[in-house]
Amino acid sequence: MRETLHFLSMTPFIGGGEIYLKSLVYGLKNSQDANFFISATVCNTQFAEDLRAYESGRDAKSQIHELTSSSYRYYFKSVRFLLQVLKMHDVTHLHLNGARELYHVPLIKLFRHSLIVTMTQHTDAYSIKGIKGWLRKVLYRFFFCFVDQAVAVSEHIKRQMLKMGLPEKKITVIHNTPRHEFFIDSQYQIKISQNKKLHMVMVGRIEPLKGWRDLAEACYDLEIDVTFIGDICEEVPEKWRQRYAFVGFQKDHREVLRTADVFALPSYAEGCPLSILEAMAMGIPIIATKIDAISELVANDKEALLSPAGDICILKQNIIKYMEQPELRLQLARQAYERVLRDFNPAHWVQKYIQFFNSLKR
């Protein structure tokens, strides 16, 4: 008998977690080993349309529902809607696409106490400081009591979940993976531009934690073009608007990445950044920060050039090193491509999730 697996995503925008979920849903649908029906509730119209478009013309295994608002002002309305959806599909297993969805679990479990609840933790919970960060950690400890099993997208996230009280036996680490369409066919396709003026691309929201200001400052007086891809969530100074290209969120940013000589992600906090994995799969030399989640994907001087978060001086030195040493860019890009094929392969990733879900069947 097939069980019904329902995915819940309460994020109102499309970010790395939503790209992850879309890849997972598609991967499970295409796998002969995934012996369950799939349904989902999401809070973003474009995301819902993307998921529905995939099943158009097929014998649909899934049903996609859209929750019109993820605002906590509509908390009880959201819970009522979700309970109706779970009943409609006779859902046996609810998987939460992140921590935002945890707030709905206590009431849902009250009415559906036999429901298996699992989750994927994507984000660095300790990146939020002050009272808001402290309150979030306290709430997580309470909500984790209602979770049967959890996936951490990195060892770094696993350590945080342990600190917040989730038992180690309830945590499985499954690193993210780049989408199939980002992979080039061979490392020998990796070519390094000999042009003196390089083009650098950063993919990530324009917000403080992504470190985009550090990159803008480091590159300001260098002979290099920079394109920032991602939702603009804070004010961009006019001098940087004139100096760089801010193109906003791109549904498919592969075309821009294909023009990149270097990829940059100078973040202060990450869970398991998909953008780094995408750059590895496309054979683009990487500059990033030496934070735990990124260091799990690439090693300094082996697959990327890494600098301490917030250290603009070393970040700038790494950029100059790439500018002056094209052979270094080629060497590190090829080694990063080999690693993503070996350690973060999409086919292996889907199989790990199938094993995870199958282990929880009643």
pLDDT at residue 62 greater than cutoff 60: no
- 113 vs 119: CA distance, rounded Å: 17
Q: Which of 209, 219, 220, 234 is nearest to 291 (CA)?
A: 209
Question: What does the buried/exposed string (b/e) look like for 117-135 if buried means 16 or more CB atoms within 10 Å of the residue's CB?
Answer: bbbbbbbbbebbeeeeeee
Q: CATH 3.60.21.10: does it fit domain 181-343?
A: no
Instruction: Give tens-digit pLDDT for 301-312.
Output: 999 999 999 999
The domain segmentation of the chain, as residue ranges, is 3-177+345-358, 181-343
Instruction: Give tens-digit pLDDT for 242-301.
Output: 999 999 988 889 999 999 999 999 999 999 999 999 999 999 999 999 999 999 999 999
Q: Which of 88, 181, 106 is nearest to 143 (CA)?
A: 106
pLDDT at residue 58 greater than cutoff 90: no
- 312 vs 221: CA distance, rounded Å: 13
Share of the chain above pLDDT 90, in %: 60
CATH architecture of the domain with residue range 3-177+345-358: 3-Layer(aba) Sandwich (3.40)
pLDDT at residue 16 greater than cutoff 90: no
- Kindly state the average pLDDT of the residues 351-359: 92
If pLDDT is split at 50, 70 and 90, which confidence band does 57 have?
very low
**What is the SS3 assignment for 57?**
coil
If pLDDT is split at 50, 70 and 90, which confidence band does 59 have?
very low
- 215 vs 195: CA distance, rounded Å: 21
Instruction: Give tens-digit pLDDT for 126-167.
Output: 666 666 777 877 888 889 999 999 999 999 999 999 988 899
Share of the chain above pLDDT 70, in %: 93
Residues with Cβ within 8 Å of 96's Cβ and at least 6 positions away in sequence, in order, are: 8, 102, 105, 117, 118, 119, 120, 147
Do the domains at 3-177+345-358 and 181-343 have one common CATH topology?
A: yes
| Residues 319 and 301: beta-carbon distance below 8 Å | no
The pLDDT mean for the chain works out to: 89
pLDDT at residue 334 greater than cutoff 70: yes
Instruction: Give tens-digit pLDDT for 86-121.
Output: 998 889 999 999 888 888 899 999 999 889 999 999
pTM: 0.89
Q: How far is CA 72 from the centre of its chain?
A: 23
- 30 vs 345: CA distance, rounded Å: 16
Residues with Cβ within 8 Å of 241's Cβ and at least 6 positions away in sequence, in order, are: none
pLDDT at residue 231 greater than cutoff 80: yes
- 244 vs 226: CA distance, rounded Å: 6
Cβ neighbourhood burial of 212 (10 Å; 0-12, 13-18, 19+): buried
- How crowded is residue 161: how many other Cβ atoms within 10 Å of its Cβ? 24
Q: How many CA atoms lie within 13 A of 278 on its CB side?
A: 24
Backbone angles phi, psi at 250, to 5 degrees: -120, 125
- 241 vs 232: CA distance, rounded Å: 12
- Kindly state the average pLDDT of the residues 187-208: 85
